[in-house]
């Protein structure tokens, strides 16, 4: 019997007319924690999906499962392989227990086995009787892992699960994986940062541009060497942040309250903060913390139960989204919400100004003007491709560049950016960060909503941590650590209320 649970050599996969994988190879030993590392667009997720049997490669010289040659995607290949994606592994309307039954068989002992595994691995807090749609991303991932253990998978594939975890959650989850590996489970985990791979894995395979660069023992390398393998350069992509004294208040938010779907428990409760000219404020928290709902409320995309929003001295609490943008707000939504996937890219790039007289005549869009504007924007921000092609054909890095270009080029008084670099490679993230910092240097106000603690530390002049729909702490990035931020995101231990409005204010 081979020492390898999974072996693949010279894997090729093409999608949307582009090679995602060209020469990817991987050997994962039994009972080891193996890392799959690479920048955004390196091909990690595609290779994981092929390993999980979710899609077939266009070419593969060698594919072995437990030493036996077999075809990826076949039943023999998939047997005993558990797929644990970041946040797509469950059906929202089903509880954790109901999700366990999907793809399996009816079993009267399922609850008993699940409870035993929860006790064994310290997963008693995993909410199995709650619909998956009401769980946080971290809880969803834990439920998916437990499902794989219930169905006795001997290979666990974890795809990009790092980004949903705080420092404390990473430590606890790493200890769990170490236990599973000692019991003989084979674990492959993708994504993350070199320092995570150093702490978590036994060996690490690095991908770059769809090709395997090298497999190394993490005990015999360092984070800087892994970083260089990922990028092909020893350049440090660190944003250049100048010291700037903040100016007058641009955005003032008082006692914001967003009602919940049942009309009882609010999604946002009593949120208050300010953003000044020449300042970047980061609003951070775990999934479900409420920071993204807060951004939608600021843009008029969610109704308010109470609260006040003031922009540059003007109250815009009841203004429409278009009027808020006309008043001086530029909005960069998250990548999955920001572009029209099947429409020409030019339509997405003009979404923030299609009502301008330069873009329409008596309500009819001037297509030539739109194409010209989109072409200029793509040239200025080095976005390749054709503005008439659907946005979904763009690589993720270029979709992020397009969102940043659309939001930054207008230089409004306030930029609200939601997860601006999630999934970006280092160069793209650096470019977007430089654009954001450029607005700050131009004395614009910037509000960044992100769950990436490293991004928070790199950009923020002030940090507000949200938990359970409330702001639980205001932090100075120079006087705090990633661990402290992560603890507040997870537990909300520090309870502080900010600027509750009086009846007269309303």
Rounded CA-CA distance 126/139 in Å is: 6
> Containing domain of residue 101, as a range?
4-231
pLDDT at 317: 93
- Number of domains composing the chain: 3
Whether 29 contacts 186, CB under 8 Å: yes
**Is residue 469 scored above 80 in pLDDT?**
yes
Among 392, 411, 430, give the residue marking a domain's end.
411
104, 100, 99, 97: which is closest to 129 by C-alpha? 97
Q: Do 82 and 202 share a structural domain?
A: yes
Question: Could you tell me how far CA 306 lies from the centroid of its own chain?
Answer: 30
Q: Do 315 and 359 share a structural domain?
A: no
pLDDT at 292: 92
pLDDT at 82: 87
pLDDT at 16: 67
Rounded CA-CA distance 400/261 in Å is: 31
pLDDT at 235: 67
* Beta strand pairing call for 364-365 and 360-361: antiparallel
C-alpha dist (Å) from residue 149 to 46, 142, 428: 23, 11, 37
Mean predicted lDDT score pLDDT of the chain: 86
Range with lowest mean pLDDT among 30-44, 75-89, 341-355, 384-398: 75-89
Residue 193: which residues within 8 A CB-CB, separation 6 or more?
Answer: 162, 223, 454
- Sheet hosting strand 211-217, strand order edge to edge: 68-69, 62-65, 4-15, 18-29, 211-217, 203-208, 33-37, 186-190, 155-159, 81-85
Q: What is the pLDDT of residues 68-86, one digit of tens each?
A: 888 776 666 778 888 888 7
* H or E segment to which residue 174 belongs: helix 167-182
Helix (H, G, I), strand (E, B) or coil at 67: coil
Q: What is the pLDDT of residues 399-457, one digit of tens each?
A: 999 999 999 987 789 999 999 998 788 888 889 999 999 999 999 999 999 988 889 98
Helix (H, G, I), strand (E, B) or coil at 441: helix
Q: Do 347 and 309 share a structural domain?
A: no
- Is residue 334 domain-resident? no
Q: Do 214 and 251 share a structural domain?
A: no
Q: What is the pLDDT of residues 470-502, one digit of tens each?
A: 999 999 998 888 888 888 887 766 544 433 333
pLDDT at 271: 93
- Is residue 333 domain-resident? no
Return the bridge partners of 43, or none.
none
Rounded CA-CA distance 204/273 in Å is: 43
C-alpha dist (Å) from residue 130 to 15, 98, 145, 164, 469: 36, 10, 16, 19, 19
Q: Do 25 and 39 share a structural domain?
A: yes
**Is residue 234 scored above 70 in pLDDT?**
no
Whether 327 contacts 311, CB under 8 Å: yes
Q: Do 227 and 139 share a structural domain?
A: yes
């Amino acid at each position: 019997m081979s020492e390898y649970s999974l072996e693949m050599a010279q894997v090729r996969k093409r999608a949307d007319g582009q090679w995602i994988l060209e020469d990817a190879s991987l050997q994962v030993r039994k009972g080891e924690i193996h890392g799959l590392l690479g920048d955004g667009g390196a091909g990690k997720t595609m290779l994981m999906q092929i390993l999980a049997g979710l899609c077939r490669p266009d070419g593969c010289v060698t594919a072995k499962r437990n030493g036996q040659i077999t075809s990826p995607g076949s039943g023999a290949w998939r047997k005993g392989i558990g797929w644990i994606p970041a946040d797509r592994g469950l059906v929202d309307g089903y509880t954790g227990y109901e999700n366990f039954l999907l793809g399996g068989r009816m079993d009267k002992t399922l609850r008993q086995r699940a409870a035993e595994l929860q006790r064994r691995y310290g997963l008693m807090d995993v909410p199995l009787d709650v619909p998956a749609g009401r769980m946080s991303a971290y809880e969803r991932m834990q439920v998916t892992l437990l499902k794989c253990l219930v169905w006795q998978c001997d290979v666990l594939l974890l795809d990009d699960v790092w980004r949903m975890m705080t420092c404390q959650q990473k430590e606890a989850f790493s200890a769990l994986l170490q236990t599973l590996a000692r019991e003989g489970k084979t674990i492959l985990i993708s994504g993350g940062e070199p320092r995570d791979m150093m702490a978590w894995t036994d060996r690490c395979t690095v991908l770059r541009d769809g090709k395997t660069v090298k497999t190394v023992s993490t005990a015999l390398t360092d984070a800087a060497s892994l970083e260089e393998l990922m990028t092909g350069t020893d350049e440090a992509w660190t944003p250049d942040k100048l010291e700037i004294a903040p100016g007058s208040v641009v955005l003032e938010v008082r006692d914001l309250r967003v009602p919940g779907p049942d009309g009882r428990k609010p999604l946002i409760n009593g949120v208050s903060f300010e953003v000044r000219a020449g300042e970047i404020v980061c609003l951070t928290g775990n999934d479900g913390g409420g920071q993204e709902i807060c951004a939608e409320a600021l843009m008029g995309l969610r109704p308010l139960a109470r609260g006040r929003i003031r922009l540059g001295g003007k109250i815009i609490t009841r203004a429409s989204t278009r009027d808020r943008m006309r008043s001086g707000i530029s909005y960069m939504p998250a990548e999955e919400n920001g572009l029209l996937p099947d429409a020409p890219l030019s339509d997405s790039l003009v979404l923030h100004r299609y009502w301008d007289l330069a873009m329409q005549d008596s309500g009819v869009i001037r297509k030539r003007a739109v194409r010209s504007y989109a072409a200029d924007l793509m040239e200025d921000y080095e976005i390749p491709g054709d503005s008439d092609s659907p946005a979904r054909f763009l690589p993720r890095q270029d979709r992020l560049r397009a969102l940043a270009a659309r939001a930054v080029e207008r230089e409004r008084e306030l930029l609200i950016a939601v997860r601006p670099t999630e999934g970006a490679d280092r160069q793209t993230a650096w470019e977007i960060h430089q654009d954001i910092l450029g607005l700050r240097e131009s004395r614009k106000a910037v509000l960044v909503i992100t769950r990436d603690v490293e991004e928070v530390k790199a950009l923020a002049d002030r940090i507000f941590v949200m938990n359970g729909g409330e702001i639980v702490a205001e932090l100075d990035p120079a006087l705090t650590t990633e661990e402290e931020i992560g603890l507040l995101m997870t537990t909300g231990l520090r309870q502080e209320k900010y600027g509750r409005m009086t009846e007269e204010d309303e």
